[in-house]
Amino acid sequence: MSHWLWAPRAWVDGAWAASVLMQVDAQGRWSSITPDTPAPPQAEVLPGPVLPSLVNAHSHAFQRAFVGLAERRDSAHDDFWSWRDRMYGVALRITPDQLQAVATHLYAELLAGGYTHTCEFHYLHHAEDGTPYADEAQMCHALAQAAQATGMGLTVLPVLYERAGFAQPQLRADQRRFATDVARVLRLRDTVRSWRLPRVDAGVAIHSMRAAAPASMLELANACQGDTGPIHIHIAEQTSEVDDCLAATGQRPIEWLTQHLPLDARWQLVHATHATPQEIDAVAASGAGVVICPGTEANLGDGLCDLPRWLTSTAPLAVGSDSQVTRGWAEELRWLEYGQRLALRQRNVSAAPSVQSSSAARLLDRFLAGGGAAAGHVRWGLVVGARADMLLLNTEDPALRGLPASHLLDGVVFAAPDRPFARTMVAGRWLPRADTGVGFAGAMTALHGA
């Protein structure tokens, strides 16, 4: 059964619109969005402005159990690779029940942070000793159950992961839970789809060029011809990865990918931090999207992307929580803009007066459409045909109180409110705030001790 909502202000077509009447159809999608319309008697009248939610286009849920546990250094050097070795300690211990508890807590946090759909880049498949579970999709099921418990939309991306590096054809012992081949990845994708759970779908992923042989990547790409699901890959996150790829193939990672695989709009290049202008142009020409994860890239010391070049390209852009050190899109956008300001010694780098004078507005609009594509959605945001997801702003948050209505989005991103969103809607239904702390605390104690 359809129903109506009315908001005094809503973010529609890249700007605040007044007196917006919205209709949700029986399938939980927007069937009409009409500004400058009085509230009819049958409409639910909302007490404040509303924003579209974002897709969290890159997530490793289990890494939520590692947040805050890698912020000390006990050797002369600390970088992504030393962090990874420590993170593997959690990856080798976490059980399906613990993963479900951690993911449930994480998804509740992400919903509170303004995301209503998560793309789970999922490579944690096997038992602790590396042997397959009797149900090979058991860890996928833990993620799907967490999404169902919280109301989070979910795209599960089983990952092709078959080697330790360009010159290491086998996995390391501490990567034993990740082992997959093309056939297993496709089976996991199809199994998740066969569950037919509300708001749960699946695509596929390739961990990285270093973790999959060229022939396997091409085999997976060919097997996905005709399938509409997304295809994600980590790429060019670290300078050493770029160097290793050059040594192994004679080309940089993005350069190789755009020339050897059939990229199209289903493909999502995660990070793409170290991309040349020519590579950015090649990605845009292919139709592939890019997923930037500013909080994680800062935490891991990855480096800064060429944001001005990406913004002027036609490549779809999305944002992801990745390692979960940040769990709200407003903070991710703030990190993204502030990193550029520090590097370039300029302000409002993301803004372009000829396009959009607000940094927050330009970033939100680019990441709305790109995030939807990353999850396999044709439409996303406050647009007809999209899933009826949205965020009710908490204008009583001390950081937002008193701001002119026209600057509320700028305040959400740059005034750093503690709880900018009062309520979250998914598929036309307001979600209750889930109490997930007890299960999460139990999983953390089991993993790390008291």
Q: Which two tokens stand for residue 325?
A: 């050190």
Rounded CA gap, 160 and 172, in Å?
Answer: 15
For residue 438, with 0-12 CB atoms within 10 Å meaning exposed, 13-18 middle and 19 or more buried, which class applies?
exposed
In the set 105, 125, 234, 271, the catalytic residue is 271
For residue 403, give the 3-state DSSP assignment.
Answer: coil
Q: Catalytic site residue 271?
A: yes
Helix (H) or strand (E) holding 447: helix 437-448
Phi, psi angle pair for 272, to nearest 5°: 50, 35
Pair 162, 207: CB distance under 8 Å: no
Phi, psi angle pair for 33, to nearest 5°: -140, 115
In the set 302, 322, 365, 389, the catalytic residue is 322
Ranges of H-type helices in 18-126: 80-91, 96-112
Pair 162, 179: CB distance under 8 Å: yes
- Per DSSP, 64 falls in state G
Residue type present at position 89: G
Q: Catalytic site residue 322?
A: yes
> CA of 312: how far to CAs of 57, 158, 292, 348, in Å?
21, 32, 15, 15
Phi, psi angle pair for 316, to nearest 5°: -60, 140
Whose tokens are 């050797």? That residue is 75
Active site residues: 271, 322
